[in-house]
Structure 1
Amino acid sequence: MKDREILLIVTSVILTLIFSNLSLFLKSFSLTPFASPEIKQAARQIEIDGFRKSEQDFWSKIKDINFDSLPKKSEIPPIKTETKAAALPQKPAKKLTPAKPKLTRPYRKFLFIGDSVMFDLGIQLQYTLKQKYNIADTKIDYKVSSGLNRIDYYDWYARTRKVINDYQPDVVIVLFGANDPQDITDFQGKSRVILTKEWQKAYQERVEKYANILASSSVRKVYWVGQSIPNKSWYLKAFPIMNDIYKNASKSSPKIEFISTWDTFAQAGKLVPVVADKSGKRGYVKNNDGLHFTSHGAQIISDLIIDKMASDKILKAPKKKSL
């Protein structure tokens, strides 16, 4: 009795499982060795029918979508991406530092070259440079009766090279001419009569050669002082021609500057024997020969040159010591 009841219970459970999910039962039973080919075919058909039903459900959902309501491609906001450059910290711009002004080496050594007229002038230049600018390193190199005409008497070319090389001046002040109005022998060995065109050409060659020596030297600045007005007619005729030659030769180099003194003692084309200096003091400016300066005249020409050097920033007044 009990066995029969158990069999009924088991049968009921099996039937319940079969009818509750027949497709699952057939697929499971078709995998067992007891399933017949018909049962396996039935299980396969059930699997296909299930797939078709899922496919139909998918396309039904696709048909229900309103594609007109979807945003267009142009309406989709772009996705912002940070570039590597943006992620890197920006380097601050370099500040431009102003260039430092170049320091100018002071002019401390002064050389005065020329004939005996330069000796009178050089004494006054030395005194003023020492008293007003505290410059004591100066040198006068002169030769009586010399000039650029008679190089055979005194070779200023060789002498100037030597004294510049030995003394190493910053500034050179030149004054020649009082002894040059005489016949000249040019570089070709030909004698030329005073103040002729040939003489002027030969003397110009002498002056230009000397200017080139100064220009190519280590000297930083050259002042070529012209002849002042004399009191003798012969020199009155020669000196203006010679001054023009000095002035033109000075243009060959930016370091050479011509200083005219002709009008300092002149009035109406003649020498004024008594002239006032910067302080108003009056005195004779030339000796009896009309060429050499008195100490008063030398002081006036010296002040003219000193003022020019101060204007060119060659000279700077020393600072006063505070008490």
Structure 2
Amino acid sequence: MPAGRVLVVILVTLLVWTVLYAPTMKRAAEASPLGVRRTVSLAVLAPLAAVSDWIGISELANTIERAVGRDPGKPGGAFVPPPEDIPVTPEEPDEDANGEGGPNGDGDGSTAEEDPIRAPSPSRKLRVAIVGDSLAAGLGYFAERVFRPRLVKVSRQGRISTGLARYDYFNWPFTMRRIVSSFDPDLVIVMLGENDHQSLQSVRGERVAQIGTPQWPAGYRGRVLKMMEIATSDGAKVVWAGLPISADLGLREHSRRQNDIYEFAASITDNAAYFDSWERFREPRAGYTAYFREGRQVILIREGDGLHFNAIGYTILAREIAKLAVEEFGLSPRTFDVAL
């Protein structure tokens, strides 16, 4: 084949690929930090994404990615299932309708803050909401296999490329209120932050705090506390899972600062506990490791992107979080499986 025709074939192939995946690249650009690079990327990708959506081939690309268990919006092919619709929990009869006992029917006037998480039954399952970014999406999918469906209803609310920094991109406080009012969870597991290494933006897109300034930690801490406040507003318990150690050295320092904020916020919030993913999955001497020691076994638990977990990793993570909920909130051990 003449060199000219080869070049034409290559260019046409690149153009088709770009149009095919333009919506995915546009979503990634929208969630990226504000700046010239983001502006230029959106200027180029927006019309291509519109063409892709109009033709209908963008959904084909997303379908192919999901069919092989990949997240269309993430590089590295991390497994990220889509969130489910927020379930609506029907109102349950008031067990204290006879007027006896305190708010929880125990006769001593104790409040929900002092009580352990309720014991579930097949007719009144425990409701567990798992919220956050793509880490939470993977966690939620495998938590459905760790928690026993006979006793627990898991609602998967992980949304890719989201976080607390960019309210203009995704408003988590608003969504958390919807989850609380519709699903009425007993336990909320939060895992997010990988997309928050950027300046804080308001819902209107106004910059609230520039990353790297003294205002950023205080502003971010306020958003974490607000998220915990909403999640626990109707009596739910919260386990906030910190960011795991990453293979990317450039992300580690900021992730550790975020984890410090999560841990502090949980320490001053009633009904909240912090799960230290960093220390649980860190190799004491080497730092980052893609493996986990389970008894005598050494198991691969991380994806190739150096951040997300694989199927076994998410299963272990869900189990460890459930164990913490047993210690902190009296979660019944019969609600989840310990074995892998």
TM-score > 0.5, shorter chain as reference: yes
Q: 2:24 maps to which residue?
A: none
Q: 1:121 maps to which residue?
A: 139
Residue 214 of structure 1: how far off its partner (Å): 2.1
| CA distance in 2 between partners of 1:168 and 1:301 (Å) | 24
Structure 2 stretches lacking a partner, 5+ long: 1-105, 109-114, 121-125, 336-340
Q: Which amino acid aligns with 1:143?
A: R
Match for 1:273 among 285, 290, 295?
290
The question of whether the paired residues in 2 share the 8 Å contact of 1:174 and 1:225 is answered with yes
Q: Which amino acid aligns with 1:112?
A: I
Q: Which amino acid aligns with 1:123?
A: Y
Residue 189 of structure 1: how far off its partner (Å): 4.2
Q: 2:226 maps to which residue?
A: 209
| CA distance in 2 between partners of 1:176 and 1:166 (Å) | 22
Structure 1 stretches lacking a partner, 5+ long: 1-99, 319-323
TM norm structure 1:
0.61
Q: Alignment RMSD, CA only?
A: 2.5
Q: 1:106 maps to which residue?
A: 119
Residue 227 of structure 1: how far off its partner (Å): 0.8
Q: Which amino acid aligns with 2:301?
A: V
Secondary structure of the residue aligned to 1:229 is coil
Secondary structure of the residue aligned to 2:260 is helix
| CA distance in 2 between partners of 1:276 and 1:297 (Å) | 11
Q: 2:256 maps to which residue?
A: 240
| CA distance in 1 between partners of 2:183 and 2:236 (Å) | 13
Residue 252 of structure 1: how far off its partner (Å): 3.0
Please show how residues 40-189 of structure 1 align to structure 2 within 5 Å.
Answer: 105-107=118-120, 108-130=126-148, 134-185=150-201, 189=206
Q: Which amino acid aligns with 1:296?
A: I
Q: 1:290 maps to which residue?
A: 306
Secondary structure of the residue aligned to 2:147 is helix
Secondary structure of the residue aligned to 1:262 is helix
Q: 2:236 maps to which residue?
A: 220
The question of whether the paired residues in 1 share the 8 Å contact of 2:140 and 2:154 is answered with no
Residue 172 of structure 1: how far off its partner (Å): 0.6
Secondary structure of the residue aligned to 1:245 is helix
Aligned-residue sequence identity (percent) comes to 24
TM norm structure 2:
0.58
Secondary structure of the residue aligned to 1:164 is helix
Residue 186 of structure 1: how far off its partner (Å): 6.3
Match for 1:198 among 182, 199, 215?
215
Secondary structure of the residue aligned to 1:276 is strand
Match for 2:270 among 254, 262, 269?
254
Q: Which amino acid aligns with 1:165?
A: S
Residue 236 of structure 1: how far off its partner (Å): 0.8
| CA distance in 2 between partners of 1:258 and 1:310 (Å) | 13
